[in-house]
Structure 1
Amino acid sequence: MTIANTASASTNRVSHDFEKPLWRRVLISRESGIVALLILVTLYATVAVRGFGQPITLNYLLLDVAPILLIALPMTLIMITGEIDLSVGSMVGLASVVTGAGVQAGLPFEVAALLALLVGAIGGAVNGFLVTVVGLPSLAVTIGTLALFRGLAVGVLGTTAVTDFPELWTALAKAKIAGTTIPYIMVPFVILLVVFVIMLHFTPFGRGIYAIGLSKDAARFSGIHVERTKFVLFLLSGLVAAFAGIFFTLRFGSARGDNATGLELQVIAAVVLGGVSVFGGRGQLYGVVAAVLLIGVLSSALRLANVTSDVINVITGALLVLSVVGASLLAWVQRARRRPGRLPRVAASTAS
């Protein structure tokens, strides 16, 4: 009986992943594989695709992926908890419409943008309330709010578009940092990235996110406020999506109800490709950022090579499927290598 209890405790205490040295956990991982693939694809595209290595290409690439990079930050944390937010694309469109409608009504752009951020926070809070308080599945809730937010966006402006935005702000959205080809939108992204990295990897709140993804009940019994944590994450998701919607509006100089249609699928594809488990409990932000850039580099290089958008979507989807299948196959091989019924060393020494 003592041996069984000791073995059980040791099994709970020992993690096969953390038995490996730190350098091996960092370098031999799915996230590092995505980073390596990003480097290889970028080098190959620079050499093989005419025009890809030009500074203007980097500028447009970063402008294209900026909304995805922004929204992927809170989406990563949400999916680590085992939840999902499918309404982010519609929230981008709704925030765009609120900004445009505010300017059209005579409000200063800054006030209209603040209203859009407020709408984003409210939308995120609605998702969080329905998931954490009412207890509905996040998949069902956010599918519903996806349609709701998009319907509101289209209902406010209809088929018209608002294009009368201050030139100062539209120019700033496309401007480059002095002496570089990097757009200014990367500055708030880097700030948010640092905040989310610290929050996820260096705070008790972040450890609670991983614990919730591994076992919601165990996390609750450990004293983690599961519902409050999820609510905060959904609130952040709505807020960041609204900010991305404001940037989207300024970059293209147009507020329309159908802005950013389908963006949520690109975000989720990048998060999953970046190593975040769809079942929760696993993921790193640097892998997600690398995955977003990888998809952006692939799309940009293929467009310069005159590949149609349909083929680009097929290639991106195949890459995502291969990454998921490869991760599952690797996990199966690792489990198969472990001999069943083997007692941990601590249990074996106790037994002797």
Structure 2
Amino acid sequence: MQRFKSLLRWESMLALVLVIEFVSFASLSPYFLDVWTLSDATFNFTERAVIALPLALLIIAGEIDISVAAIIALSSVAMGLAAAAGIQTPGLVAIGLGTGLAAGMVNGALVTLGRVPSIVATIGTMTLFRGLAYAVLGDRVLKEYPESFSVFGQGYAAGPLSIELSLLIVLAVVFGLFLHVTRWGRTIYALGANPTAAKWSGVPVDRYRFALFAVTGLCSGLAAVLLTSRLGSTRPSIAQGWELEIISMVILGGVSVWGGKGTIPGVLLAAVVLGFVNFGLGLLNVPGIVMSIIVGALLITVVAIPVIAERWWGPARRLS
């Protein structure tokens, strides 16, 4: 209960930061609060957040996946080649999702069967998947997508509510219920807190880990569908550097890098906070390097606060 209350406090802080962002950017730019401007701003985080949700579960379970952005590139290239061969929209979506799922299963097999540490395995597959994308395309750009394919990344469900944002909300509810309500969610917390105890309690640890890597790969394939649809093109450099941004969302959301702690609402709030920070600064014509410095400083602060708090107030709580 104490852990849950502390996480709620963290989410409250993120909500307060979001309110401060809105007030600050609205006072600095007259265009910020326009409903269609805010709708456009959501594209700054929806595709990344789609991956951040399952990645949060994976990190809570004590693992990590550095290859998510490279999976996007590989899935996008597979869809681009299929589109060039005349495959229509339903087939392209299936290929994108299937490629992401297969890549996630490769990561899961390396960790559970090959016993390779997840950070080592996924750094390797990050290079492999991105390298395959470059080997297949080189400097080419594929743009031969059917017109109907653009609906996923450019369409709107109702008014200014984009299909991407609608899908993110649905996924957040699904992942939130899974992690916080079901027995499987409690098991994921147990895996991150003490994997040895979980294993001796009869939990199929490797099965859970494999499934989490597979789902993360599947959602990376989904993000590839959304991003490729929005851009209308494929190139091997697509989503370059996104892995760090996605991990930043997860950590900023209160997920412990040591596993065993975190919530889906926190990750969703962090995604919105980072997305609107980048959009607001861009609206004010702040250079990209300055944005990176601000986000980096924010992330360091977020990681440092719990450690400092435990160092200063932890002993006092134990003595009282």
TM class by shorter-chain length?
A: over 0.9
TM superposition shift of 1:26: 6.0
Percent of matched pairs sharing the same residue: 36
**Is 1:326 equivalent to 2:305 in the alignment?**
yes
Question: Structure 2 length normalisation: TM-score?
Answer: 0.96
Q: Cα gap change, 1:312/1:110 in structure 2, threshold over 3 Å: closer, same or farther?
A: same
Q: Which residue of 2 aligns with 1:147?
A: 127
- Per the TM alignment, residue 293 of structure 1 is displaced from its structure 2 partner at its CA by 0.7
Q: Which runs of 4 or more aligned residues in structure 1 lie more than 3 Å from their structure 2 counterparts after TM superposition?
A: 24-27
- Aligned partner (choices 29, 52, 55) of residue 49 of structure 1: 29
Q: Aligned residue for 1:256? A: 235
**Shift in Å, 1:47:** 2.2
- Partners of 1:225 and 1:35 lie apart in 2 by 36
User: What is the CA–CA distance in structure 1 between the aligned matches of 2:92 and 2:282, rounded to whole Å?
Assistant: 35
Query: Which residue is equivalent to 1:198?
Result: 177
Q: Given the alignment of the two structures, is residue 97 of structure 1 paired with residue 77 of structure 2, yes or no?
A: yes
- Structure 1 residue 60 corresponds to structure 2 residue 40: yes
Could you report, residue by residue, the CA deviation over 1:303-336 in whole angstroms, capped at 9, with x for unpaired residues? Answer: 1111000000000000000111112112223312
Deviation at 1:240, TM superposition (A): 0.4
Q: Give 1:270 deviation, angstroms.
A: 0.8
Cα distance 1:172–1:139, how it changes in 2: closer, same or farther (>3 A)?
closer
How far has the Cα of 1:189 moved from its partner?
1.6
- Which residue pairs with 1:287 in the alignment? 266
Provide, for residues 65-94 of structure 1, a one-character-per-residue CA deviation record: whole Å limited to 9, x for no partner: 111110001100000011100000000111
> Residue 177 of structure 1 aligns to a residue in which SS?
strand
Q: Could you tell me how far apart the structure 1 residues matched to 2:85 and 2:307 are?
A: 53
Task: Give the SS at the match of 2:30.
Answer: coil
CA distance in 1, matches of 2:191, 2:128: 28
1: CA distance, partners of 2:68 / 2:175: 18
- The match for 1:164 is 144
What's the counterpart of residue 212 of structure 2? 233
2:56 aligns to what? 76
Pairwise CA distance, 1:220: 0.8
Alignment of 1:108-187 (within 5 A): 108-178=88-158, 180-187=159-166
Task: Quote the Cα distance in structure 2 between the aligned partners of 1:281 and 1:324.
Answer: 15
Whole-angstrom distance in 1 between the partners of 2:39 and 2:146 = 22
**Does structure 1 conserve the Cα–Cα contact (< 8 Å) formed by 2:76 and 2:234?**
yes
Write the distance in 1 (CA, Å) between the matches of 2:262 and 2:215: 18
Compared CA separation, residues 109 and 171, structure 1 to 2 (3 A)? closer
Whether contact under 8 Å (1:58, 1:182) holds in the other structure is no
- Give the unaligned 5+ runs of structure 1: 1-14, 343-352
1:270 alignment partner AA: M
| C-alpha displacement of 1:172 | 4.6
8 Å Cα contact 1:34-1:291 kept in structure 2: yes
Looking at structure 1, the residues matched to 218 and 259 of structure 2 have their Cα atoms a distance apart, in angstroms, of 22
CA RMSD in angstroms comes to 1.6
**Amino acid of the structure 2 residue aligned with 1:115:** I
Could you give the per-residue CA deviations for residues 131-190 of structure 1, whole angstroms, max 9, x where no partner exists? 112211000000000001101111222211111212222145212233x32211122222
The 1-side partners of 2:44 and 2:232 are apart by 14
Q: Give 1:297-316 correspondences, 5 Å limit.
A: 297-316=276-295
CA distance, structure 2, for counterparts of residue 159 and residue 186 of structure 1: 32
Any idea what SS the aligned residue of 2:162 has?
A: coil
The amino acid that maps onto 2:198 is A
Aligned twin of 1:40: 20
For 2:152 and 2:173, locate their aligned partners in 1 and report how far apart those are by CA, in whole Å: 22
The number of residues matched between the two structures is 320
- TM-score using structure 1 length: 0.87
Three-state SS of the structure 1 residue aligned to 2:157 is coil
**Aligned partner of 1:73: which letter?**
L
Distance in 1, Cα, partners of 2:175 & 2:47: 16
Distance (whole Å) between structure 2 residues aligned to residue 339 and residue 227 of structure 1? 35
2: CA distance between counterparts of 1:154 and 1:89? 14
What is the CA-CA distance between 1:36 and the residue it aligns to? 1.6
Unaligned stretches of 5+ in structure 2? none
Q: 1:172 to 1:335 in 2, by over 3 A?
A: closer
1:30 and 1:333 map into 2 onto residues whose CA distance is 18
* Deviation larger for 284-293 or 155-164: 155-164
